[in-house]
Structure 1
């Protein structure tokens, strides 16, 4: 694998990671409601999903999704439904935020909220997103040659995962450092409302995605 190809891939992956999307809003919601550890669980869910998509792409299974209209349709509808469900759940949680909840909440406490639930949310948000699969199918042919091994392909997946981990880790640390602001009832209700609307919007947009 040529160094120039690796550096170019890293640049493209970085631009994709830092661009606004469901992952950033999920992190913001999770850290403000369930704490820093749950936010990191989200990130590990993202990373796991990247390796799933990477594996499917390396072994050619993802190509089937793009060339089989029925399979692609099912995947995007399931992914869209999941994002919309997250949005609706976030909107419903607005009315549940109270003084009592906040008094028992420590944003940096690893015991608050469900770490496992946060991991699953992070994983499903990415593994059910056809755009992630399309990214791997579009990127791999450009940055890998016929002589490159599967190990080289996984190196690119690892680079993407590392960039994702660093970017969202920085976001988590920033949000968890703003304890006073994120513990505000007004802020948390505003964030839950905005996150809910945005997730529903992402879900609706994904539902109309064409291969």
Structure 2
């Protein structure tokens, strides 16, 4: 039980550390509200669980030890994040001018919950560093005598649960400040920052561990 709490604390620290998943969830929240943010978060969770299952059955070890497979996944994931970031920046550059008496940003058509889920899922599935992280870290928190497969999935579930709570908090904060967040200047610069952050993270993902 001590190992489980220790891992939960580690998962919390990692969750609150800014990363591409946070940028995706916040961007979805600004574009489509809590519904799109939740769909993105569920996609991220599904991707993490897939890597957790892969680590549990040893597939992640195969990926990490195969330079070709690992490299292809890493580059694909990096390219995907860069494309996402570029799409956000292009959308802002070609966006309509704010309208309305209060200067609010008009709602744009989003890709829907399915597209948001797919974006979150692809962001994690195409990042082999998640699998390598699980392989390197999870064994340290598995008590002696516990079944490796079952406990690995338990730890992954804890990681996902902590992340989902954090995403819910982020979404709640964004909604609490929804009036301020929808000011034209705030939307413009927040989306620019998120787009640039995704491009930066994508570039870093392309670099070797």
Scaled by the length of structure 2, what TM-score is found? Answer: 0.91
Separation in 2, partners of 1:90, 1:23: 15
Separation in 1, partners of 2:186, 2:153: 40
Measure how far apart 1:145 and its partner are.
4.5
Query: In the TM superposition, what whole-angstrom CA distance separates every residue of 1:109-167 from its partner, at most 9, and x where no partner exists?
Result: xx965111111111111111122112111122111246322222221111111100101
Query: Which sections of structure 2, spanning at least 5 residues, go unmatched?
Result: none
| Correspondence for 1:105 | 107
Q: RMSD in angstroms over aligned alpha carbons?
A: 1.9
| Correspondence for 2:9 | 11
Separation in 1, partners of 2:172, 2:110: 16
Question: CA 1:103–1:90 in structure 2 vs 1: closer, same or farther (change >3 Å)?
Answer: closer
Contact persistence 1:35–1:113 (CA under 8 A): no
Question: CA 1:97–1:12 in structure 2 vs 1: closer, same or farther (change >3 Å)?
Answer: farther
Contact persistence 1:82–1:125 (CA under 8 A): yes
Separation in 2, partners of 1:141, 1:16: 17
| Correspondence for 2:145 | 147
Q: Which moved more, 1:57-66 or 1:133-142?
A: 133-142
Contact persistence 1:31–1:38 (CA under 8 A): yes
2:19 to 7, 18, 21: 21
Query: Which sections of structure 1, spanning at least 5 residues, go unmatched?
Result: none
Separation in 2, partners of 1:143, 1:11: 12
Scaled by the length of structure 1, what TM-score is found? Answer: 0.90
Query: In the TM superposition, what whole-angstrom CA distance separates every residue of 1:152-194 from its partner, at most 9, and x where no partner exists?
Result: 2221111111100101101101101212112111111111111
Measure how far apart 1:99 and its partner are.
2.4
Separation in 2, partners of 1:116, 1:208: 30
| Correspondence for 1:84 | 82
